[in-house]
Chains A and B, each alone.
Chain A
């Protein structure tokens, strides 16, 4: 069965302290890997879609990378407003469901 595991569960960073979030996945043929940001009490907000190993995408302080087994969300010089839960999801070639991880809760301290 398709699975997504995110680590760490929670991460506290000082403002400006760069780090990475991990998303490991098992899927029978990857159609796409998706990163979302979710603020408390709100729906997930789309960040990136990655399709093949070696692909990278950037947006402001965020950069997502993909290998055959995992994806990383790199956060460079984070600010307090980057505090949120970051969710990873995958979709396989063999179905139409999207499988989500449990997320990484990021707190950036001023």
Chain B
């Protein structure tokens, strides 16, 4: 039973560049969540998918952020025109709806915007 995986684990970019992160959920899980976490804070909800449908987005998610989950499997989170304030840990979690609803997290992608 493999857990949630995320790639890359670390990303350093210059301000203004675009970055894309990938998340591979636990295979039988139909729901996938993206979170952002900064130092000393808990994970902050960004968006979630049920299968391939993006059902909810945080008000905090600017139009520079976009997420996809083609075919209901892996998901990508893209940040366009990165800003220094985007520096954070980006976490992905998956769950099987209707069964405990417990989320299982990946190791995260640490983004540093210079």
Chain A residues engaging chain B, CB cutoff 8 angstroms: 4, 31-32, 34, 36, 41-46, 49, 87, 89, 91, 95-103
Contacting residues, chain A, for B55 (C-beta < 8 A): 96
Bound-state CA distance A46–B4 (Å) is 12
Most-contacted residue by chain A among B42, B100, B103 (CB, 10 A): B42
Partner of B101, one of A32, A42, A101: A32
Partner of A49, one of B4, B6, B41, B100: B100
Contacting residues, chain A, for B44 (C-beta < 8 A): 100
Does B67 reach chain A (CB closer than 8 Å)? no
Contacting residues, chain A, for B107 (C-beta < 8 A): 42-43
User: Can you sample 13 A-B contacts with CB below 8 Å?
Assistant: A31-B101, A32-B101, A41-B89, A43-B91, A43-B107, A43-B108, A46-B105, A49-B100, A89-B42, A95-B56, A97-B45, A97-B56, A103-B40
What is the distance, in angstroms, from A99's C-beta to the closest C-beta of chain B? Answer: 8
3 tightest A-B CB contacts, nearest first: A100-B42, A43-B105, A44-B105
Bound-state CA distance A97–B106 (Å) is 17
Bound-state CA distance A91–B40 (Å) is 21
Contacting residues, chain B, for A45 (C-beta < 8 A): 105
> In the complex, given contacts A34-B102, A89-B42, A98-B33, what are 20 additional A-B residue pairs having Cβ atoms less than 8 angstroms apart?
A31-B101, A32-B101, A32-B102, A36-B105, A43-B108, A46-B102, A46-B104, A49-B100, A49-B102, A87-B43, A89-B43, A89-B103, A91-B101, A96-B55, A96-B56, A97-B48, A99-B45, A100-B43, A102-B41, A103-B41
Bound-state CA distance A42–B105 (Å) is 9
Contacting residues, chain B, for A41 (C-beta < 8 A): 89, 108, 110
B93-113 vs A, Cβ < 8 Å mask (1 yes, 0 no): 100000011111111101000
Bound-state CA distance A64–B82 (Å) is 40
